[in-house]
Amino acid sequence: MATDGLTRKGQATRDRIVQAASQLMLEQGVARTTIEDIQAAAGVSPSQLYHYFPGKDALVLAVVDHQAGQVMGVQHQGLNGLDDFEGLGNWRDLMIGILAKVQCVGGCPLGSLASDLSEADPVARVQLANAFESWEALLRNGLERMRDRGELAEHADPGELAVALLAAVQGGLLLSQIRRDPAPLRVAVNTMIEHLRSLSSAGGVR
């Protein structure tokens, strides 16, 4: 969301509101998080909050944008240079390491918001869909580079494989959150990597 024209202090206040709202909405759900909750957590007055956001709907969109930036920052770190199986293993280890660090609490912020908002907020649903499409594109581009290098067979479809990988990650994150154990994410991604290896005569790392 555009924040042009804000002073440094104003931007800091806005960021504090969004960060507080993000944490509360992930912890207790979007519907159960009130404007009053957010004001208290951010330490701002009603007039301050409404100066930056005309209502809760606008704040929800800012939270989606914030969480998409956080998630995609990690995904860019793991996928920007993806072109071989070693890179896939590094990407897997990056996600598992982050998950273990937070003790599997929270799951995927985008997945949690999608569960909350997809049926209740059509504008937020589109914004979330765009974020997932960006994630899918990172995977697809990496798999295309792998195919171009001969790591994957020519008949492999990077688009379909990217969807399957993303679905495996989302399912693995959800089960890891429920079980408080990173094993489901590891198993889900490893299974997809093994499937990709089956499409390659060159092999790769486990």
Every domain of the chain with CATH number 1.10.10.60 lies at 1-54
pLDDT of amino acid 6: 77
pLDDT in tens, 143-181: 999 999 999 999 999 999 999 999 999 999 999 999 999
pLDDT of amino acid 203: 46
pLDDT of amino acid 200: 77
Could you tell me which CATH number the domain at 1-54 has? 1.10.10.60
CA end-to-end span of the chain: 40
Q: Read off the pLDDT of each residue in 36-57 and give the average, rounded to a whole number.
A: 95
pTM equals 0.90
pLDDT in tens, 109-131: 999 999 999 999 999 999 999 99
Every domain of the chain with CATH number 1.10.357.10 lies at 64-198
Could you tell me which CATH number the domain at 64-198 has? 1.10.357.10
pLDDT of amino acid 204: 43
Checking if the pLDDT of 4 tops 80, the result is: no
Half-sphere exposure of 101 (CA within 13 A, CB side): 6
Distance of CA 68 to the CA centre of its chain: 6
Cβ neighbours of residue 174 closer than 8 Å, sequence gap 6 or more: 107, 108, 111
- Indicate left, alpha or beta for 44 from its phi (over 0: left) and psi (-120 to 50: alpha): beta
Q: How far apart are CA 155 and CA 160, in angstroms?
A: 12
Cα–Cα distance list, 174 to 76, 117, 131 (Å): 21, 17, 18
